[in-house]
Amino acid sequence: MARMTGDEKHGPAATSTLDALWVLYDRVLRVSPATADAPGRDRFLLSKGHGPMAYYAVLAAKGFFPEAWLPGFGSFDSPLGHHPDRTLIPGVEISSGSLGHGLPLAVGTALGLRALGLTDPNVWVLIGDAELDEGSNHEAIAYAGPAGVERLHTLVIDNSSATHGWPGGIASRFEAAGWSAQTVDGRDHEALHAAYIAPHPGRPRAVVARVEPKND
């Protein structure tokens, strides 16, 4: 990540996600460069697209594109923009960065796969705690729980940048809508992994990864 350049790197937005992303891609997601277009792959949607440096670093480390692309981040002729573009970067499922879009898209993706009879793929979406200021996310949370969208997993990176809060913490917001939810240390790889693979029959899953507060 330190090799990357660019005037608007959104450093805290990226570094806050690095451990959570690495554990997800290294131990959990069933997707690789060879299966990036396979119907049965797991889907990962980065809703927190305004800080994609860690995402790019992990994708490069996993072989989705050459590491030689990284130093050109944000430059005029680089495919690695300040927001990820699904038409330019292998392995990227959605073009993102506008807050509040990723979780609704993930709900639709999970429902679409179910309608097609593809019951094995898991759908993961990473959002920031500040994205929960957006009403579109609350509509998605309120729908997915009662609908029992079991293959849906939401990873919330909590770096204390949200305007609003909830009694009992972010996980309580998901639990109130019928989700399985857990809060863990976002730098603890073993805790992240255990939370990712915890069973949650009949319910969508939310993992809130708490990291150090954002300081700008």
Per-residue pLDDT of 22-51, as tens digits, reads 999 999 999 999 999 999 999 999 999 887
Backbone φ/ψ region at 20: left (φ over 0), alpha (ψ -120 to 50), beta: alpha
Burial of 191 (0-12, 13-18, 19+ CB in 10 A): middle
Q: pLDDT confidence of 67, banded at 50, 70, 90?
A: very high
DSSP 8-state symbol, 24: I
Place of tokens 């299966």: 35
d(CA 71, CA 91): 19
d(CA 163, CA 173): 15
At residue 76, the pLDDT reads 87
More confident residue, 215 or 26: 26
Residue 6: pLDDT over 60: no
Strand 123-128 and strand 180-185: the pairing is unpaired
d(CA 160, CA 104): 22
Q: pLDDT confidence of 5, banded at 50, 70, 90?
A: low
